[in-house]
């Protein structure tokens, strides 16, 4: 399986990775960042630049599942408790 990168819930939205990526592979959309695995050349610049070390290597087979988990982690949690 080929390695790819994913951004986890520790992201503080500093935007550094999106601005520095030489391939334009990182986009911001609806409160979370995505890395396009087809554009990413695995140059490692964003991994080294991230101030909170939240960009991690994973396998392509797991990336879709992890993105879904991260999307859910960023989903606003209702302040109401079920009755
Ligand atoms: S590893 Fe390089 S090409 Fe891939 S997302 Fe990070 S900065 Fe962009
Ligand atoms: S550099 Fe790290 S903390 Fe900053 S936006 Fe990118 S992933 Fe998030």
Identify the CA nearest to 41 among candidates 61, 52, 26: 26
| % of the chain surpassing 90 pLDDT | 57
According to the model, what pLDDT value does residue 59 have?
74
Architecture of domain 3-63: 2-Layer Sandwich (3.30)
Res 65 pLDDT > 80 = no
Threshold 0.75, pTM exceeds:
no
Ligand 1 site residues, Cβ closer than 6 angstroms = 5, 21, 23, 25-26, 35, 40-46
Of all protein residues, whose CA lies closest to atom 6 belonging to ligand 2? 17
Task: Note whether 54 and 17 are within 8 A (CB).
Answer: no
Of all protein residues, whose CA lies closest to atom 4 belonging to ligand 1? 40
Q: Give distance in angstroms: CA of 23 to centre of ligand 1.
A: 7
pLDDT in tens, 10-50: 999 999 999 999 999 999 988 889 999 889 999 999 999 99
């Amino acid at each position: 399986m080929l390695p790819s990168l994913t951004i986890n819930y520790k992201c503080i939205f500093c935007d550094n990775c999106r601005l520095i990526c030489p391939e334009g592979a990182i986009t911001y959309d609806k409160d979370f960042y995505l890395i396009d695995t087809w554009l990413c050349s695995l140059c490692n610049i964003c991994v080294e630049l991230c101030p909170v070390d939240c960009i991690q290597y994973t396998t392509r087979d797991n990336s879709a599942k992890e993105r879904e988990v991260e999307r859910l982690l960023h989903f606003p949690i209702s302040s109401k408790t079920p009755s």
